[in-house]
């Protein structure tokens, strides 16, 4: 999905330019019209890859209901349209089971990452807040 400079995403983000593009997503530099700051927005190109986002927690209803293209991938009740039977796999579980991290290391790293992965942009950590996290010291 391509946007043009000056186009808006969810009537909140003013597109400045494309930062990067991959097989399954595109990252856009945007101006957040509510927070009055620059943000990077990652847009997934296909529904099968929403599973990675859903695993972080449910997407807030107000985001889905205001998203321009949400109807293609989500039902009115905010369920994925083309994917069923997703099993949540939390960040701690991924670090412990898939990557075999030690509990202490996984907990510390997860506490650093989770605020950045918050789906609600109003609750997401800022770069300045992240730089103060003990994991970086």
Tens digits of residue pLDDT in 29-39: 888 888 888 88
pLDDT band of residue 79 (cuts 50, 70, 90) is confident
Q: Could you state, in order of their start, the residue ranges of all structural domains in the chain? A: 7-44, 61-136
Indicate if the pLDDT at residue 101 is higher than 90: yes
Residue 98's nearest CA partner among 55, 62, 135, 34 is 55
- Round to whole Å and give the CA distance between 73 and 85: 15
Beta strands in 5-118 (DSSP E): 8-9, 13-21, 25-32, 37-44
Model confidence at 49: pLDDT above 60? no
Whole-model pTM: value is: 0.56
Only one residue has tokens 């097989």, namely 23
Reading phi first (left if > 0) and then psi (alpha if -120 to 50, else beta), residue 7 is in: beta
Using one digit for the tens of pLDDT, what is the confidence trace for 119-136? Answer: 788 888 999 999 999 999
The residue among 116 and 11 whose pLDDT is bigger is: 116
User: In CATH, what number does 7-44 get?
Assistant: 3.30.200.20
Sign of the alpha-carbon torsion through 51, 6, 35, 12: negative
């Amino acid at each position: 999905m391509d946007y043009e400079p000056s186009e808006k995403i969810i009537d909140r983000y003013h597109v400045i330019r494309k930062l990067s593009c991959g097989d399954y997503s595109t990252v856009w530099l945007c101006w957040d019209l509510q927070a009055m700051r620059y943000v990077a927005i990652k847009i997934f190109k296909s529904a099968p890859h929403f599973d990675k986002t859903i695993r972080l927690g449910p997407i807030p209803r107000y985001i889905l209901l205001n998203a321009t293209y949400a109807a293609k991938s989500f039902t009115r009740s905010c369920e994925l349209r083309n994917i069923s039977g997703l099993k949540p796999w939390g960040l701690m579980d991924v670090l412990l089971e898939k990557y075999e991290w030690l509990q202490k290391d996984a907990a510390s790293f997860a506490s650093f990452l989770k605020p950045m992965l918050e789906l609600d942009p109003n609750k997401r950590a800022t770069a300045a807040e992240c730089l103060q996290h003990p994991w970086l010291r």
